[in-house]
Amino acid sequence: MQGIDIVRAYAGLLSEGDAQLLASFLGTETPLGPRQCLARAHQPLDRSVYLVRGFVSRHRADRLGRRQILSVQIPGDFVDLSSYRMGHLDHDVETLGEGAVRDLSYRAVGHLHQTAPALYDMLWRIVLIDAAIQRYQVFRVGRLAGRARIANFLAEMLVRLYARGLCGLDGYELPISQSELGEACGMTAVHTNRMISELRAEGICSFSGFEVRLNDFAALVATGQYDWDHLFLPAATSAALSRLAGRKPAHPLPAAAACWGRGTGRVPCLPSAS
């Protein structure tokens, strides 16, 4: 898959000037091989990485070595920027195929805090969006069943890549095995294979040879009960996806200042009765 620079990856979040300033703090591009470890749990860190191209998994394992993939990072993501405050991770990070990264040292992040506080705040918005993706993973694995869980995961990967211009709506590259797809969705390899076969038989999508081929975007998001509100996409992108999925565009969210008091009470606003 093609790479992506920060200007394109965060076009809806950062101004071109801010994106270029942030890019100036990144190290040189480092190529990575498949299944290469980027970080181990509990090991001290002094930098995060920006994923230029390729895919990265974050995972934990039980005492028998059985893994749960916690998330899959795509080109344009910062991998565990939250470790800037923690000093280490509570999980392992590993590539899912060939790729490339650029380092962002914690010293550089601290410098941005002092010299460009507005841009520093935007980095924490990126961290918060990453946390929202994690919360959605809890919903996916904890609430959705079988086929819906697989469809939901495949739909999320499509929307995240599509929003960055890295794929069309006809499919995308996903360098994971069916067993790893099961690890991402909390399912056995046998169950995963059966659910993929059902999605293929219904003409919704197929997954083989590290490629997802999509026949019906609207059916995929409907089957997976997928909603992209946790990605906090630009309004125009979200509206375009809603049209493609055959949905009514969501109502714009009210301004934060209108919803939350500035005093200590911080009482959320409620919709007025109609």
In order along its 274 residues, the chain shows pLDDT tens digits of: 788 999 999 988 999 999 999 999 999 999 999 999 999 989 998 899 999 999 999 999 999 988 899 999 999 999 988 888 788 888 899 999 999 999 999 999 999 999 999 999 999 999 999 999 999 999 999 999 989 999 999 999 999 999 999 999 999 999 999 999 999 999 999 999 999 999 999 999 999 989 999 999 999 999 999 999 999 999 999 999 999 999 876 655 454 433 334 344 444 444 444 3
Q: In what order do the strands lie in the sheet with 30-32?
A: 30-32, 99-105, 47-53, 78-79
**Looking at the structure, do residues 102 and 40 belong to the same domain, yes or no?**
yes
**Looking at the structure, do residues 27 and 132 belong to the same domain, yes or no?**
yes
Place of tokens 């005093």: 263
Other CB atoms within a 10 A radius of the CB of residue 60 amount to 13
Q: Which two tokens stand for residue 134?
A: 């994690």
- Are the CB atoms for 245 and 218 separated by under 8 Å? yes
- Are the CB atoms for 269 and 254 separated by under 8 Å? yes
Q: 268 lies in a domain? A: no
Place of tokens 């749990």: 41
Q: Which residues contact 17 (CB under 8 A, 6 or more apart)?
A: none
**Looking at the structure, do residues 31 and 125 belong to the same domain, yes or no?**
yes
pLDDT for 251 equals: 54
Longest CA span, the chain: 58
pLDDT for 252 equals: 54
**Looking at the structure, do residues 155 and 172 belong to the same domain, yes or no?**
yes
pLDDT for 85 equals: 79
pLDDT for 102 equals: 96
pLDDT for 247 equals: 85
**Looking at the structure, do residues 107 and 195 belong to the same domain, yes or no?**
no
**Looking at the structure, do residues 6 and 136 belong to the same domain, yes or no?**
yes
Residue 237: domain span: 145-248
**Looking at the structure, do residues 91 and 157 belong to the same domain, yes or no?**
no
Domain count, the chain: 2
Which residue, 113, 143, 173, sits at the end of a domain?
Answer: 143
What pTM, to 2 d.p., does this model score? 0.88
Angle at 189 between CA 188 and CA 195, to 5 degrees: 90
**Looking at the structure, do residues 21 and 139 belong to the same domain, yes or no?**
yes
**Looking at the structure, do residues 168 and 113 belong to the same domain, yes or no?**
no
pLDDT for 114 equals: 95
